Chain A
Amino acid sequence: MGAIAAVTIYCLALAPVSQAQTTIDTAQAADKSLQNVKKRGALIVGTDIPYGVMEYLDKSGKPAGIDIEIAKEVTTDLGAKLTLKTLPFAKLFGALKKGEIDAVISAVTITEERQKEMLFSAPYMDAGMSIAVVDTTTDIKGEKDLAGKTVGVLAGTVGEKLMTESTYVEESKLRRYKDNDDRLRDLVDGKIDAAIVHFVSMKPSKIKLLTPPLTQSFYGIVTRLNDQKLMDAINFTLRRIKRNGKLESVKNKYIYQ
């Protein structure tokens, strides 16, 4: 009797507080994104493997990384299986728009231009760029101090672009790496003075990130613009893993903070 009564009261008491509400447009009313995923029993997620700690193939060849773990959380809540589709980053949005994939979870930075064409979830990851230095030996405290210093960047990334455009860093002192681990090893060994990083994936005790970061940006999960119901479900999972500490533990697993 207690349980029934509790549920009854709970429902009754929830009923009132209802005020003027934003209208639901026709696209949203016809939104079957969530229904389709549940019907299919699988969420098709597009991702560009490898991309640092965000997504990669582990030693046994299975996809791993922060994005993959978040995707698994989402599919668990949806009660669906996770189907990963690996595509080059540049083709991900096209595949999404064509309906080949349901969502993109691939370290996608939230930008205003992208938001006009696609639906973004709440930010799940701080992806700003910072200057990484060796804690014990450096005299670098900010971007200005990079003048005359050797700076390591990953080729073809936002970090390289930032340093190329920087008024303080000399082109001759810029060292372009393909492998992040090599770069951080050189930093620890003193072969370079600083590195421009999103975050430090290993846990070398000597490296620290300077604050404030050079840039701030956030990663979000992407769906088609009208797939609001699927996005609501994704946001629900993100809220859940933010609140219960799961997201933080996933980050701690891969990133040195």
Chain B
Amino acid sequence: MKISSKILGAFILTAFVVFVALATSHFLRIRHHFEADFLRNAKVLAYALDGSITTMSDLDMGDKLRVTVQKTMWLNPDVVRIDINTPLAGKLSTVVSSEPSRIRRRAGATNAEAFKNNSQVVSFYEDERGRFLSLSSPIHSAKRQIGTFDILFILEVIDERIKESMIFYSTVTFCAIFISSILLYLFIRFSIINRLDQLRQAVGIYGREGVLPAVEVDTRDEIGDLARDISQMTKDHTETQERLRQGQRLEAVGRLTGGIAHDFNNILMVVQGNAELLAKKSNAPAKLLTPILQAAESGSDLIKRLLVFSRAQSLSTEDISLEKLVSRILDILSVSVGNDVDVELNCEEELWQVNVDYGQVENAVLNLAINARDAMPDGGKLTFDCRNITVPTSALPLELDLPHGEYVCLSVTDTGTGMNETVVENAFDPFFTTKEVDEGTGLGLSMVYGFAQQSGGYACISTTEGIGTTVYIYLPRAEVSEGQQHDQADTDGDKTVS
């Protein structure tokens, strides 16, 4: 069932309930009002009748009393019967009635009560002929109670007035409720349901085609928030998917590279070992042997780098203060990056130590610094930033590709040329480079990525063409023990062997 149908149903039900409640309340109110009004007039009539009878000498007045009864009925269309009763032989009997043929049936309970209490007694009742008001009232003569009379009023006037009022009130109320409901429904339809429908269709399209169409999100309400959240969520999802895809690709390339490097290393060991033996045992000219040994050395160096990328090298981890490590490297770097590049290091106070391979971190920082420098041929600013990061359990794990835990994030930011989308996508691939042949191997960022992954961390790139690039390396925090905390406080303890 569609939400619009539910809302429409709820509206109809609510409108009906409200209408019934209002109509019932109005009915009870006007009936009470009309009856009270009618009763007031009835009592006035009763007093008037009492007054006219009182002027007669006694109740044995035959025609005169009968004429009074008839006149009262003639003047008051609502009076359908009048009986005049007087105590005879110890009980109240009807002596004059507008319906003498049924005279013996009268002088009922209300008359007796009116006579006994010397007061008017009122009762409403209903039968198949309609609703009636019975009013019994004492009759006085010379301040003495001499009998009672009973006037029966038919209440069809009240019923007619109630009917007229109810028809008018019901029509007006119904129209008001109907129009309000329609307006409210249209408002909800256009301000909520239609926009939800747009969102639903957009999400459907995203599910099928992976592209979120433009959705109107200009309103500052829950629906606007939802639209913005969906837009952000799909964007994040797309990015995460992309990262995952890239991670899987790098994983596959890493495995392939690792396997090749390992086998190739064995082959190279044979070449290198035999070349060295040959150099010692024979008098083969150095002119021929030296290039072999140098080539073997280069090959070995290449293999080490490939192993770093493929996370297959053995790491010698220790607890390190990144701040000290980076500052030490910066001393060396300040010369190599040139005077037209400003170098800055920002570290959070009480930066946590990380448990990583010192040499690998050093290599990574150097690689990043060199890349940054190359990206800023006209100079700029190179910023190293170290911050403590806690990945909460509630964080989207794919967003950072990191499990829950504490990390230190080292970011290297340059104000260089930045990278376009294609370059970013392939930046961590081994042998991918934008540099000229002989200027770069294309293994720098691959090594950074492999090292970070192998260390239990993560590496990623944020870049904007023309603005600059930031490479983030997340490294896991070293396990903290009391002794380590002490060492961390020690200014000389830049390296702590675990």
Contact = CB atoms under 8 A, between A and B. Distances in A.
A112 B100 contact: yes
Given A6-B166, A6-B170, A115-B100, A126 B74 contact: yes
Contacts of A112: 62-63, 66, 100
A5 B12 CA distance: 13
Interface string B51-91: 00000000000110011001101100111100000000000
Interface in A34-53: none
Contacts of A130: none
Given A5-B20, A225-B101, 17 more contacts: A1-B19, A5-B23, A5-B174, A6-B167, A9-B20, A10-B163, A13-B27, A17-B126, A18-B125, A22-B108, A22-B127, A116-B100, A122-B80, A122-B98, A218-B74, A239-B78, A239-B154
Contacts of B274: none
B173 interface: yes
A63 interface: no
22 contacts: A2-B19, A2-B174, A3-B167, A6-B167, A6-B170, A9-B23, A10-B162, A10-B166, A13-B24, A17-B126, A18-B127, A20-B109, A21-B127, A116-B101, A119-B99, A126-B74, A217-B70, A218-B67, A218-B71, A236-B156, A239-B77, A239-B78
Given A2-B171, A9-B27, A13-B24, A124 B74 contact: yes
B287 interface: no
B166 A123 contact: no
A216 interface: yes
A243 B73 CA distance: 13
What secondary structure prevails in chain B residues at the interface with A? helix
B16 interface: yes
B99 A115 contact: yes
Nearest to A109: B70
B22 to A, nearest CB: 10
A247 to B, nearest CB: 9
Contacts of A3: 167, 170
B24 A2 contact: no
A232 B100 contact: no
Contacts of A18: 125-127
Contact of A9 (B24, B127, B157): B24
B152 to A, nearest CB: 10
B67 A2 contact: no
Q: Size range of the interface on B?
A: 35 or more
Nearest to B155: A17
B206 interface: no
Contacts of A239: 77-78, 154, 156
A136 interface: no
Given A13-B24, A13-B27, A112-B66, A5 B16 contact: yes
A165 B24 CA distance: 64
A2 B74 contact: no
B5 interface: no
Q: Which 8 A-B pairs have the closest CB atoms?
A: A2-B174, A6-B170, A123-B74, A242-B77, A19-B125, A115-B100, A239-B77, A218-B70
A15 to B, nearest CB: 9
Nearest to A231: B99
Given A1-B16, A235-B80, A19 B170 contact: no
Given A19-B123, A126-B74, A5 B101 contact: no
Given A112-B66, A216-B67, A235-B80, A243 B27 contact: no
Contacts of B166: 6, 9-10
B249 interface: no
Contacts of B105: 22
A6 B77 CA distance: 28
Interface string B21-57: 0011001100100000000000000000000000000
B324 interface: no
A79 B156 CA distance: 20
Interface string B128-139: 010100000000
Nearest to A229: B129
B264 interface: no
B253 to A, nearest CB: 72
Nearest to B125: A19
Nearest to B152: A22
Contacts of B162: 10
A217 to B, nearest CB: 7
A1 B16 CA distance: 8
B77 A238 contact: yes
Given A13-B27, A239-B154, A122 B73 contact: yes
Contacts of B63: 112
The CB with the most chain B CB atoms within 10 A, among A10, A217, A218, is that of A10
B108 to A, nearest CB: 8
B69 to A, nearest CB: 9
